[in-house]
Amino acid sequence: MSILDKINSPQDLRELSSLELETLSSEIRDFLVRKVSKTGGHLGPNLGVVELTLAIHRTFDSPRDPILWDTGHQTYVHKIVTGRASSFETLRQDGGLSGYPSRQESVHDVIENSHASTALSYADGIAKAFELNGESDRHVVAVVGDGALTGGMTWEAINNIADSNNRSLVIIVNDNERSYSPTIGGLANQLATLRTTRAYEEFLGWGKSVLAKTPLIGPTMYDALHGLKKGFKDMIAPQGLFEDLGLKYIGPVDGHNIADLEFALSRARDFGGPVIVHAITEKGRGYGPAETDEADRFHAVGIVDPDTGKPVNVTGTSWTSVFSGALVELSDKREDIVAITAAMLGPTGLESFKAKFPMRTFDVGIAEQHAITSAVGMAHAGLHPVVAIYSTFLNRAIDQVIMDAALHKAGITVVLDRAGVTGDDGASHNGMWDLALLQIVPGIEVFAPRDSQALRDALDYSVSVCDHPTVIRFPKGAVPIDIPKLKSVGNSDIIFDSGATRIAIVSVGAMAASAIEAAQELSKQSIAVQVIDLVKVSSFDEVLIDHLASFDLVVSIEDGIVTGGVGQNLAHQVVAANNSINFVTLGVAKEFLRHATRKTLLAEMGLDSAGIAESVKKAIHTSVI
Ligand SMILES: Cc1ncc(C[n+]2csc(CCOP(=O)(O)OP(=O)(O)O)c2C)c(N)n1
């Protein structure tokens, strides 16, 4: 029986010797590689926090001491040691383990995060409540990556946490020098300074080994040395930013040495106020293919061969790569085009742009709000910025889109990848809010391309606009083969027409393929339908409205939230033109979706071809056709 087989709760960790802990660490790494290679998931970050997680659970008393993980993707080891190892076959599968913390799964999961940089705010709140409740013997632990530390919310929280107090809040900076790619910016430089200044730590190490062996006076002297005032510490190693803010700083600590970690963490735990413990870890540690992967150290992988780390299923051309190629092509001819990423250069397809135009590429850190407003600044000064982010993270920056970009009529292009239902990553990663949120922004133009040609056209147009913001959104995965236009109606395209009909299906972006399939199926059943791809999904021209108003039944389909979405906005205008029309809006329900594949979820919500055909047939019965 392996040691791992005997671990069912953090309590089981406390009985292990240091040798057993070492063995357990390598067993966990093997386990992670074996399991995650089968399901896909955040392999690299979790390989990097094995020892850190063990040390945390041995030092603190979870769940009495809540442990919060920012961003939440590095909780696999935490899941393993809190009794969930046997469920790892089901990671990110329908009905299985979530890829993020989940309160439904365990009392050890306190928050359900995955949008970065929130943990310190939760921690601040919990610590304040503990204080008011008189629970001064409880500690709050927040583990924050150096990447998550670049997000604005983190600093709003630190500003509050550092306000001198006795609340026991331990911030562990899990510094692996990487977000996906290397973390950039002034803060990353600050961490690098702390990381490389080891003199202080070595001095303390000497104190620990020599003085601790000196009976009676030794330990006391060591404590005294350790508690020396900031001025002296700064002479040996600059504590810089953190201590200037009023936070005790411990570190840097080797994040793969459990004894050192426990030493630092127990000091932090017993300090009686907010403390930062700076742990140095290696993303992807112990797994060759991850350690040597320059791009992102296997930050997130699909299904891979565990021996080589190579993807098992290679899908077709992705939406991301179509965007990537088109942007480089346009930017060859236009020197004013610049690209902005919020710490996701690779996943948003900007790597090739950066390779060609390094000076025109800006990685702003996990800072979507700043990305938008900074882009507006660039537009003001004559550039055309293209901000590439995931749809779900636009939620963070919606105020900036409204007040900074739209109100200022700024010529910026926002490109939303992973739009619509993404599925496996669960509730928070679905890009299902963008369409509804953008409906309310004055003067913005939003495009939802149905195929690669439409994406190229939308980008071509968007970078030519200099007096208002434009947005282009597309889903995760492979682009379908191009779907030709039969005829235009205003800005929109008729993409299927089975002859004279009183029924129209209006489709948004990537739903076009399913809409056409549904129409083909309906035609076979002698129900004639016209399918119209809106192309532009923000404001609708009169030609389109008049055209749609001429039908008896219109069914709209989008993979965004139906409430306040494209369909409802369109219906409002079409019904105003013809109040006897039956306009049915199909879209994602206003609920947080469980994790499952995009295909499963869309089918369940009636948003696949069968569901659309079914809705059309049902609506025929209630329409005057
Ligand atoms: C608001 C937001 N923007 C972008 C992301 C995408 N994202 C997930 S993890 C990550 C990098 C995190 O780096 P770090 O905090 O250092 O953790 P590590 O993976 O290195 O352990 C990013 C950018 C996110 N989760 N949330």
Would 390 be classed as within a structural domain? Answer: yes
Residue nearest to atom 3 of ligand 1 (CA): 366
Query: Do 466 and 537 belong together in one domain?
Result: no
- 42 Cβ inside 6 Å of ligand 1: no
Residues noted as catalytic: 283, 368, 396
- 347 Cβ inside 6 Å of ligand 1: no
Residue 446: pLDDT over 80: yes
Would 213 be classed as within a structural domain? Answer: no
The minimum-distance atom of ligand 1 relative to the CA of 74 is 21
Query: Do 336 and 413 belong together in one domain?
Result: yes
Would 298 be classed as within a structural domain? Answer: no
Would 45 be classed as within a structural domain? Answer: no
CA dist 275 and 277 (Å) reads: 6
Query: Do 465 and 534 belong together in one domain?
Result: no
- 45 Cβ inside 6 Å of ligand 1: yes
Residue 228: pLDDT over 70: no
CA dist 224 and 517 (Å) reads: 75
Q: What is the CATH number of the domain that holds 593?
A: 3.40.50.920
The minimum-distance atom of ligand 1 relative to the CA of 299 is 19
Query: Do 469 and 491 belong together in one domain?
Result: no
Would 114 be classed as within a structural domain? Answer: yes
CA dist 499 and 214 (Å) reads: 95
* Segment 225-246 mean pLDDT: 57
CA dist 106 and 606 (Å) reads: 32
The minimum-distance atom of ligand 1 relative to the CA of 366 is 3
Query: Do 369 and 492 belong together in one domain?
Result: no
Query: Do 552 and 425 belong together in one domain?
Result: no
Instruction: Give the pLDDT confidence of 109-168 residue by residue, as tens digits.
Output: 999 989 999 999 999 999 999 999 999 999 999 999 999 999 999 999 999 999 878 999
Q: Pick from 133, 114, 116, 126: which is nearest to 274 by CA?
A: 126
Q: What is the CATH number of the domain that holds 106?
A: 3.40.50.970
Would 314 be classed as within a structural domain? Answer: no
Query: Do 524 and 597 belong together in one domain?
Result: yes
The CA 146 to ligand 1 mean position distance, Å, reads: 9
The minimum-distance atom of ligand 1 relative to the CA of 343 is 23
Would 409 be classed as within a structural domain? Answer: yes
Query: Do 412 and 272 belong together in one domain?
Result: no
Boundary-marking domain end, from 415, 449, 473: 473
DSSP-assigned states of every residue in 159-221: HHHTSS----EEEEEEE-SBSSSB--SHHHHHHHHHHH--HHHHHHHHHHHHHTTSTTHHHHH
- 348 Cβ inside 6 Å of ligand 1: no
The CA 474 to ligand 1 mean position distance, Å, reads: 21
The CA 278 to ligand 1 mean position distance, Å, reads: 18
- 145 Cβ inside 6 Å of ligand 1: yes
Would 615 be classed as within a structural domain? Answer: yes
Q: Pick from 574, 605, 603, 572: which is nearest to 589 by CA?
A: 605
For residue 624, name the pLDDT band (cuts at 50, 70, 90): low
CA dist 437 and 325 (Å) reads: 28
Q: Cα dihedral angle (312, 313, 316, 321), rounded to 10 degrees?
A: -50
The minimum-distance atom of ligand 1 relative to the CA of 148 is 15
The CA 43 to ligand 1 mean position distance, Å, reads: 13
- Which of 179, 282, 293 to probe ligand 1 with, by most ligand atoms within 8 A of CB? 179
The CA 213 to ligand 1 mean position distance, Å, reads: 43
Instruction: Give the pLDDT confidence of 247-280 residue by residue, as tens digits.
Output: 899 989 999 999 999 999 999 999 999 999 999 9
- 115 Cβ inside 6 Å of ligand 1: yes
Query: Do 395 and 255 belong together in one domain?
Result: no
* Number of domains present in the structure of the chain: 3
The domain of 451 spans 319-473
The minimum-distance atom of ligand 1 relative to the CA of 183 is 16
Instruction: Give the pLDDT confidence of 318-345 residue by residue, as tens digits.
Output: 999 999 999 999 999 999 999 999 999 9
- 615 Cβ inside 6 Å of ligand 1: no
pTM above 0.85, yes or no: yes
Question: Using DSSP, how many helices (H) and how many strands (E) does the chain show?
Answer: 26, 17
Boundary-marking domain end, from 425, 445, 473: 473
Residue 230: pLDDT over 50: no
Residue nearest to atom 10 of ligand 1 (CA): 179
The CA 49 to ligand 1 mean position distance, Å, reads: 15
Boundary-marking domain end, from 473, 503, 533: 473
- 71 Cβ inside 6 Å of ligand 1: yes
Residue 222: pLDDT over 50: no
Q: Pick from 80, 43, 82, 42: which is nearest to 60 by CA?
A: 82
Query: Do 534 and 556 belong together in one domain?
Result: yes
The CA 299 to ligand 1 mean position distance, Å, reads: 9
Query: Do 259 and 363 belong together in one domain?
Result: no
Query: Do 466 and 337 belong together in one domain?
Result: yes
